Amino acid sequence: MNTPRPYKRVGLFLLGLVAVFAASVAVGAAVEPAETQGEPPHATEGSMTAHNSDEETEPAGLGVSAAGYSLRLSPSQLQRGHARELRFTIEFDGQPVTGFDELHERRLHLIVVRRDGAEFQHLHPEMDAAGTWTVPVEFDAAGVYRAFADFSVEGEQQTLATDLFVSGGEFEARPFPAPQPLAETDGYGVRLAAGDPVAGEPAELDFTVSRDGRPVVDLAPYLGEKGHLVALREGDLAFLHVHPEEGQEVAAEEIEFASTFPTPGRYRLYLQFKHEGTVHTAEFTVVAR
């Protein structure tokens, strides 16, 4: 009798395992796996992802195009001390947009500020029937500026931005100033109480206006509110949307806003208020941890 050698027995055993495994794979491929109740569907390429709860806190103004809209502006090169007319359109799918919502009593706000946070301007252009906006501008200092077009269409607020280059003098960039609770502007003192802002969490920004050491209690509405606030992040000048606090009783000299600083770092705030027929701007730096 020929008895198989041990290695032959092992080989036959392994061949048997391979045959069983192959049969199991074939059966499994033919049967669709059952879904577990409550299990979320698997994302596939091009499918809708889960809603980002932080979407409303994301900064805007980082690009010339967003959500299908594009900002087309000219000229982009200007001379210091020379008045020029800026012309631009907001386009959607290559066509000028003409149907804008009213946003803070205007259909569009143009914010222009130098890249280091200096030389802030808040302008209100006029639009013709074809959708072309125009506004006169003049810059007293050379440098690279950021122009933000802030608008709303069909209830959706958008902020697009592009750079402007102003020549005709030396430009020395500087970092945002250190945080100070008090700012002086045109003979007014404006105090900011910002607490200790934490990135990603709602923050209250409370401003108090005074003149000659006395509270200013007769502030006039500006753009439909007691004040208007623009907040920009240091580095990329990301544009934050801030909202006046509503439903709270505040003193006549106080202006309150709410915002969320999306990341740790320094932010430059530009508060505008109106008194005795003139709009004034106070600037602050806030650090979010």
Residue 26's pLDDT band (cuts 50, 70, 90): very low
Given the candidates 3.40.50.300, 3.40.220.10, 2.60.40.10, 3.20.20.70, the CATH classification of the domain at 182-288 is: 2.60.40.10
DSSP character for 25? H
The mean of the pLDDT values for the chain is 83
Same fold, 55-167 and 182-288: yes
pLDDT tens digit sequence for 145-168? 999 999 999 999 999 999 999 999
pLDDT at 16 over 90: no
Q: What is the residue extent of each domain of the chain?
A: 55-167, 182-288
Alpha carbon distance 275, 268 (integer Å): 23
Q: For residues 169 and 119, what is the distance between their CA atoms, to the nearest angstrom? A: 15
The CA distance from 227 to 281, in Å, is 10
CATH architecture of 55-167: Sandwich (2.60)
Q: Is 130 left (phi over 0), alpha (psi -120 to 50) or beta?
A: alpha
Q: Which of 19-33, 73-87, 220-234 has the lowest mean pLDDT?
A: 19-33
The string of DSSP letters for 151-217 reads EEETTEEEEEEEEEEEESS-----PPPPP-SEEEETTEEEEEE-----TTSEEEEEEEEEETTEE--
Residue 289: pLDDT over 50: yes
pLDDT of residue 171: 86
Phi first, then psi: give them for residue 206, nearest 5 degrees: -110, 120
pLDDT in tens, 181-209: 999 999 999 999 999 999 999 999 999 99
Name beta bridge partners: 148: 111, 161
Question: Binning pLDDT at 50, 70 and 90, where does residue 251 land?
Answer: confident
Residues in the chain: 289
Does the pTM surpass 0.85? The reply is no
